[in-house]
Structure 1
Amino acid sequence: MFSKVIIKNDERGLLFRNGSYIKHLQPGTYRFAPFTDHTVIVQNVMQPLSVPNKDIRLFMQDEQLVKQLTIVDVQDYEYVLHYVDGKFVSLLRAGVYAFWNIWQKHECLRVDIRNPEIAPEVDLAILPKLHGCCQIVEVGAHESGMLFYNNVLQKELTPGKYYFWKGPTTVVVKIQDLRQQQLDMTGQEIMTEDKVTLRLNFVCQYKIVNPLKALEIKSFEDQVYIVLQLILREYVGTLKLDDLLKMKQEIATFVLARLNEKSEHYGVQFQAAGLKDIILPGDIKDILNTVLLAEKKAQANIITRREETASTRSLLNTAKLMDENQTLYRLKELEFLEKICEKIGTISLTGGGNLLEQLNSLLSVRNGA
């Protein structure tokens, strides 16, 4: 009895005899005599050609079969973007692939991953589907990126988003912040020329202007800190404490000028510097407070004596005017009499006459005396 095999319109058959490939079969019905070792492997033309334990290259000798296939041979250094009817389907890695082109149109875009940067012809919309095959690097608006391939500098990246293939080339982007930055030095102990140990709180602002130069310096911020520390020691170590306290406003000018002498070496621009605090030892602080208190007391005594002298001189001038002018003297008496009356609640008089006459008589008697 014959064995029957039916191949549908969306199928193709691969005929084997005694395990060896013979030919491909078009849609139709096929009968095979019994006791013959014929095997038909049916393939769905909507799926890639795949035969278990058989290499695809085995079927490429069949010219008629090859006409119905799109063969893709992917090298080790390649990725192939596979499109079906214009739509992205999959990413093909190294290997050989065969797709039926009977009902579908297959297109392939090859990319050489030895050059990691993703070319413009690759639609970025498909990248979310390529898990593990690409990496994304973002450079902010205030940043600059240094692009390295296998630790070799390639170029500087301006702000934006960049896409790279993952492959044999290692891609690293080192980001540098171009905004103004601040370096704080707190509690730095420094000895003055007269052997007084004090602590300084100092601050400086800088901005990276040459990212590559700054990147070449290991532990960039630590090295800038050391430079600032040495400059402060150089300045403070040549001054006595009293001179330092008088000239503390000049520290910032000196330090900023010295820092900018080294700015090109570090690839930065130092924009500002300033002394925040001078912290003195406890015993020195007590001595200075005592000196300050004595100075203020002396100043207060001088001011008090000056005011007393001015008051006495004014009183003397008033007395001279009153001696020379009886009318002024009389007005002054009335003024004091008014002040006395303001402080008295009741007045008791003995004898006749009214109040004004008696007060007037008192003043007249005093004048006569």
Structure 2
Amino acid sequence: MSLFPTITVSAGERALEYVDGTCRRVLEPGRHRLARRAVVRRVLVLERVDTTAPQEVPTADGVSVRVTVAVRWAVADAQRFVETTVEPMAFVYLAVQVALRDALVDLTADDVARRARRTLGEAITEAARVAAEPVGIVVHGTVVKDVILPHELRAAYAELVSAKARGQAQLEVARAETAALRSLANGAKLLDEHPALARLRLVQALPPG
């Protein structure tokens, strides 16, 4: 029987070998022989996606919108991830929330609703990466997932869309009526200029016999 225990580290994880409270080495996937008094802590390093809680953020026009951000991240340094802080991702979430407030302070609610997903991602991702590196995390990207406007503003937008649709429908009806009137006017002018054609149309309109 061996005096030295062994451990198998799976793909997608790292194992920290501690001896007398000190990290002796970081074990890669495979089978390893441990020190006699070793304590092992496993760390999952697969990429994952977490979504922040809805963050209520004031816009430039004084409207409070609720925004959530999805963060794609993974553990880059297992030892720093374990030893630096109790909740490593809390640092990343805080950086995302602060960057979100800074990004929205100059935007109106309409700008946020229309362009948040396209314009905010880069700034938020950079802030998250800066906060993540010291705690052993790599951030692969962020996405503005949900933008929730106040109920009154959503109702106003819905009414605006409905009004635009009704106006477009009325415009199409008016165009059709104008085209019909123009056709009738052209026909009347043609009949005035050609009496024989007018008589022919009259004959055609009479019932048989």
Q: 1:327 to 1:227 in 2, by over 3 A?
A: same
The residue type paired with residue 245 of structure 1 is A
User: Does 324-333 or 288-297 show the bigger shift?
Assistant: 324-333
**Matching of residue 279 in structure 1 with residue 154 in structure 2:** no
Instruction: Give runs of aligned pairs for residues 130-141 of structure 1, distance below 5 A.
Output: 134=5, 136-141=6-11
Question: Of residues 18, 21, 42 in structure 2, which corresponds to 1:148?
Answer: 18
Q: Which residue of 2 aligns with 1:195?
A: 62
Question: Of residues 161, 165, 171 in structure 2, which corresponds to 1:296?
Answer: 165
**Matching of residue 309 in structure 1 with residue 178 in structure 2:** yes
Question: Of residues 41, 47, 53 in structure 2, which corresponds to 1:186?
Answer: 53
Q: 1:150 to 1:318 in 2, by over 3 A?
A: farther
Instruction: Give runs of aligned pairs for residues 247-286 of structure 1, distance below 5 A.
Output: 247-249=115-117, 250-286=119-155
What secondary structure sits across from 2:18 in the alignment? strand
Cα deviation for residue 233 of structure 1 reads: 1.8
Cα deviation for residue 327 of structure 1 reads: 5.3
Gaps of 5+ in 2: none
Contact 1:323 1:329 survives alignment (8 Å):
no
User: Does 238-247 or 290-299 show the bigger shift?
Assistant: 290-299
Contact 2:93 2:128 survives alignment (8 Å):
no
The residue type paired with residue 102 of structure 2 is E
Structure 2 Cα separation of the partners of residues 207 and 329 of structure 1 = 87
Number of aligned residue pairs = 206
Q: 1:331 to 1:154 in 2, by over 3 A?
A: farther
Q: 1:155 to 1:318 in 2, by over 3 A?
A: farther
Q: 1:222 to 1:297 in 2, by over 3 A?
A: same
Gaps of 5+ in 1: 1-80, 82-90, 92-110, 112-117, 119-133, 338-354, 359-369
- Higher percent of residues as strand: 1
**Cα deviation digits, residues 232-266 of structure 1 (max 9, x gap):** 12212332212212322322233223323445334
Structure 2 Cα separation of the partners of residues 216 and 202 of structure 1 = 26
Q: Whose radius of gyration is greater, 1 or 2?
A: 1
Q: 1:257 to 1:223 in 2, by over 3 A?
A: closer
Q: Which residue of 2 aligns with 1:44?
A: none
Q: TM-score, normalised by structure 1?
A: 0.48
Question: Of residues 200, 204, 213 in structure 1, which corresponds to 2:71?
Answer: 204
Structure 1 Cα separation of the partners of residues 128 and 70 of structure 2 = 12
Name the % identity.
Answer: 23
